[in-house]
Amino acid sequence: MATCALAATRAFRSMMRFRAIPVHFSSSSEGKKDLSHVDPSSNMPRMVDVGEKATSARSATAVATVAFPADVAKTLRLGKSDDVRSAKGPVITTATIAGVMGAKKTADLIPFCHPLAIEDCAFEVRVADEGTSLDIECTVKVSGKTGVEMEALVGASVAALCVYDMTKALSHNIEIRSTRLLAKSK
Protein backbone atom coordinates (compact mmCIF):
# COMPACT_ATOMS: atom_id res chain seq x y z
CA MET A 1 0.00 0.00 0.00
CA ALA A 2 2.80 2.44 0.89
CA THR A 3 4.49 1.68 -2.45
CA CYS A 4 1.28 2.60 -4.32
CA ALA A 5 0.96 5.82 -2.34
CA LEU A 6 4.59 6.70 -3.06
CA ALA A 7 4.11 6.00 -6.78
CA ALA A 8 0.95 8.10 -6.84
CA THR A 9 2.75 10.94 -5.08
CA ARG A 10 5.60 10.81 -7.59
CA ALA A 11 3.15 10.77 -10.50
CA PHE A 12 1.24 13.71 -9.04
CA ARG A 13 4.43 15.72 -8.55
CA SER A 14 5.47 14.96 -12.11
CA MET A 15 2.10 15.91 -13.58
CA MET A 16 1.86 19.14 -11.62
CA ARG A 17 5.58 19.95 -11.85
CA PHE A 18 5.37 20.03 -8.10
CA ARG A 19 8.29 21.22 -6.09
CA ALA A 20 8.17 20.48 -2.40
CA ILE A 21 8.37 23.63 -0.34
CA PRO A 22 10.23 23.16 2.91
CA VAL A 23 7.90 23.63 5.87
CA HIS A 24 9.25 24.21 9.36
CA PHE A 25 7.30 22.38 12.01
CA SER A 26 7.69 23.80 15.48
CA SER A 27 7.34 21.61 18.49
CA SER A 28 4.27 22.06 20.66
CA SER A 29 6.52 22.94 23.57
CA GLU A 30 7.35 26.23 21.84
CA GLY A 31 3.67 27.20 21.99
CA LYS A 32 3.24 27.27 18.22
CA LYS A 33 0.74 25.15 16.30
CA ASP A 34 1.69 22.86 13.46
CA LEU A 35 -0.09 23.00 10.12
CA SER A 36 -2.75 20.32 10.44
CA HIS A 37 -3.09 19.75 6.69
CA VAL A 38 0.61 19.07 6.12
CA ASP A 39 2.12 15.70 7.02
CA PRO A 40 5.24 16.50 9.08
CA SER A 41 7.07 13.37 7.93
CA SER A 42 6.66 14.01 4.19
CA ASN A 43 5.77 17.73 3.89
CA MET A 44 2.87 16.62 1.68
CA PRO A 45 -0.65 17.97 2.01
CA ARG A 46 -3.18 15.68 3.64
CA MET A 47 -6.71 15.50 4.91
CA VAL A 48 -6.93 15.53 8.70
CA ASP A 49 -8.07 12.20 10.17
CA VAL A 50 -11.18 12.88 12.25
CA GLY A 51 -12.11 9.21 12.67
CA GLU A 52 -11.42 9.11 16.39
CA LYS A 53 -13.11 12.44 17.18
CA ALA A 54 -16.48 12.51 18.92
CA THR A 55 -19.50 13.87 17.10
CA SER A 56 -20.65 17.19 18.52
CA ALA A 57 -22.81 20.17 17.60
CA ARG A 58 -20.72 22.68 15.69
CA SER A 59 -21.44 26.07 14.20
CA ALA A 60 -19.60 28.91 12.52
CA THR A 61 -20.52 32.39 11.34
CA ALA A 62 -18.73 34.36 8.63
CA VAL A 63 -19.38 37.71 6.99
CA ALA A 64 -18.54 39.20 3.61
CA THR A 65 -19.05 42.87 2.83
CA VAL A 66 -20.06 44.21 -0.58
CA ALA A 67 -19.41 47.95 -0.96
CA PHE A 68 -21.16 50.03 -3.61
CA PRO A 69 -20.32 53.45 -5.00
CA ALA A 70 -22.81 55.99 -3.56
CA ASP A 71 -24.69 56.44 -6.86
CA VAL A 72 -25.12 52.66 -7.24
CA ALA A 73 -26.34 52.31 -3.65
CA LYS A 74 -28.89 55.05 -4.35
CA THR A 75 -30.04 53.34 -7.55
CA LEU A 76 -30.42 50.02 -5.71
CA ARG A 77 -32.30 51.77 -2.89
CA LEU A 78 -30.34 49.87 -0.24
CA GLY A 79 -32.31 49.68 2.99
CA LYS A 80 -35.55 50.92 1.41
CA SER A 81 -37.15 47.47 1.05
CA ASP A 82 -36.72 43.86 2.14
CA ASP A 83 -34.89 43.01 -1.07
CA VAL A 84 -32.82 44.88 -3.61
CA ARG A 85 -33.84 44.50 -7.24
CA SER A 86 -31.65 44.66 -10.30
CA ALA A 87 -32.39 43.88 -13.93
CA LYS A 88 -31.55 40.25 -13.09
CA GLY A 89 -34.13 40.02 -10.28
CA PRO A 90 -34.22 39.99 -6.47
CA VAL A 91 -30.59 40.39 -5.41
CA ILE A 92 -30.63 39.37 -1.73
CA THR A 93 -32.99 36.43 -2.27
CA THR A 94 -30.87 35.10 -5.13
CA ALA A 95 -27.63 35.68 -3.19
CA THR A 96 -29.02 33.75 -0.21
CA ILE A 97 -29.85 30.78 -2.43
CA ALA A 98 -26.41 30.95 -4.06
CA GLY A 99 -24.73 31.17 -0.64
CA VAL A 100 -26.53 28.06 0.64
CA MET A 101 -25.57 26.20 -2.53
CA GLY A 102 -21.96 27.33 -2.11
CA ALA A 103 -21.81 26.23 1.53
CA LYS A 104 -23.14 22.80 0.54
CA LYS A 105 -20.41 22.48 -2.14
CA THR A 106 -17.46 23.49 0.07
CA ALA A 107 -15.88 20.02 0.06
CA ASP A 108 -15.93 20.12 -3.76
CA LEU A 109 -14.06 23.45 -3.79
CA ILE A 110 -11.57 23.19 -0.90
CA PRO A 111 -9.45 20.04 -1.36
CA PHE A 112 -9.07 18.91 2.27
CA CYS A 113 -12.49 19.83 3.63
CA HIS A 114 -14.54 16.88 4.77
CA PRO A 115 -17.96 16.50 3.11
CA LEU A 116 -20.55 17.42 5.73
CA ALA A 117 -24.28 16.92 6.06
CA ILE A 118 -25.14 20.54 6.82
CA GLU A 119 -28.14 20.81 9.14
CA ASP A 120 -28.70 24.56 8.88
CA CYS A 121 -27.39 27.40 6.76
CA ALA A 122 -28.88 30.79 7.51
CA PHE A 123 -28.18 34.26 6.12
CA GLU A 124 -28.65 37.70 7.55
CA VAL A 125 -28.04 40.63 5.20
CA ARG A 126 -27.70 44.10 6.71
CA VAL A 127 -27.22 47.51 5.13
CA ALA A 128 -24.05 49.12 6.54
CA ASP A 129 -21.75 52.11 6.05
CA GLU A 130 -24.55 54.66 5.85
CA GLY A 131 -26.36 52.74 3.15
CA THR A 132 -23.45 52.06 0.80
CA SER A 133 -22.65 48.44 1.62
CA LEU A 134 -24.19 45.10 2.48
CA ASP A 135 -22.86 42.85 5.23
CA ILE A 136 -23.72 39.27 4.29
CA GLU A 137 -23.55 37.00 7.33
CA CYS A 138 -23.70 33.22 6.95
CA THR A 139 -24.16 30.83 9.88
CA VAL A 140 -23.75 27.09 9.31
CA LYS A 141 -24.60 24.32 11.79
CA VAL A 142 -23.83 20.61 11.79
CA SER A 143 -23.50 17.66 14.12
CA GLY A 144 -20.14 16.24 13.14
CA LYS A 145 -16.49 15.54 13.85
CA THR A 146 -15.07 18.65 12.20
CA GLY A 147 -15.82 22.36 12.19
CA VAL A 148 -17.87 24.26 9.65
CA GLU A 149 -15.93 27.51 9.38
CA MET A 150 -14.97 26.83 5.76
CA GLU A 151 -18.63 26.24 4.88
CA ALA A 152 -19.61 29.56 6.51
CA LEU A 153 -16.77 31.39 4.72
CA VAL A 154 -17.65 29.85 1.34
CA GLY A 155 -21.37 30.58 1.88
CA ALA A 156 -20.72 34.26 2.65
CA SER A 157 -18.23 34.54 -0.23
CA VAL A 158 -20.52 32.97 -2.83
CA ALA A 159 -23.44 35.15 -1.71
CA ALA A 160 -21.20 38.23 -2.09
CA LEU A 161 -20.11 37.10 -5.54
CA CYS A 162 -23.75 36.65 -6.50
CA VAL A 163 -24.55 40.21 -5.35
CA TYR A 164 -21.67 41.46 -7.49
CA ASP A 165 -22.88 39.46 -10.50
CA MET A 166 -26.43 40.74 -10.17
CA THR A 167 -25.39 44.40 -9.83
CA LYS A 168 -22.26 44.68 -11.97
CA ALA A 169 -24.20 46.24 -14.86
CA LEU A 170 -24.48 49.38 -12.71
CA SER A 171 -20.74 49.68 -11.98
CA HIS A 172 -17.50 47.75 -12.02
CA ASN A 173 -16.39 49.71 -8.95
CA ILE A 174 -18.40 47.47 -6.62
CA GLU A 175 -16.01 45.83 -4.13
CA ILE A 176 -16.16 42.62 -2.16
CA ARG A 177 -14.34 43.36 1.08
CA SER A 178 -13.12 41.59 4.20
CA THR A 179 -14.61 38.13 4.14
CA ARG A 180 -13.85 36.85 7.63
CA LEU A 181 -14.83 34.39 10.33
CA LEU A 182 -16.86 35.98 13.13
CA ALA A 183 -17.49 33.01 15.41
CA LYS A 184 -16.79 29.31 15.67
CA SER A 185 -17.91 26.72 18.20
CA LYS A 186 -16.85 23.12 18.61
In a domain, 51, yes or no: no
CATH code, domain carrying 73: 3.30.70.640
**Per-residue model confidence (pLDDT) at position 27:** 42
% of the chain beyond a pLDDT of 90? 54
**Per-residue model confidence (pLDDT) at position 96:** 97
* Identity of the amino acid at 92: I
Q: Give the residue-averaged pLDDT of 56-70.
A: 96
Q: Give the residue-averaged pLDDT of 146-173.
A: 96
* 165 catalytic residue (yes or no): yes
Instruction: Quote the number of domains for the chain.
Output: 2
In a domain, 154, yes or no: yes
d(Cα 183, Cα 178) in Å, to the nearest integer?
A: 15
In a domain, 160, yes or no: yes
The predicted model scores a pTM of: 0.77
Q: Give the residue-averaged pLDDT of 160-180.
A: 96
Q: Which residue has the higher pLDDT, 124 or 38?
A: 124
**Per-residue model confidence (pLDDT) at position 29:** 45
H or E element at residue 109: helix 106-109
**Per-residue model confidence (pLDDT) at position 53:** 79
Mean pLDDT for the chain overall: 84
Q: Give the residue-averaged pLDDT of 106-134.
A: 93
**Per-residue model confidence (pLDDT) at position 14:** 57
% of the chain beyond a pLDDT of 70? 78
Q: Identify the domain containing residue 18 by its residue range.
A: 1-46
- What is the per-residue burial (b if ≥16 Cβ within 10 Å, else e) of 151-173? bbbbbbbbbbbbbbbbbeebeee
Q: Give the residue-averaged pLDDT of 12-38.
A: 56
Q: What is the DSSP letter of 38?
A: B
Torsion of CA 20, 22, 26, 32, to 10 degrees: -80
* Identity of the amino acid at 10: R
115 lies in the same domain as 173 = yes
64 lies in the same domain as 114 = yes
CA dihedral sign of residues 7, 12, 18, 22: negative
59, β-bridge pairs: 141, 185
82 lies in the same domain as 157 = yes
Count of helices and strands (H, E) across the chain = 5, 6
Catalytic residue among 71, 83, 108, 165: 165
**Per-residue model confidence (pLDDT) at position 46:** 73
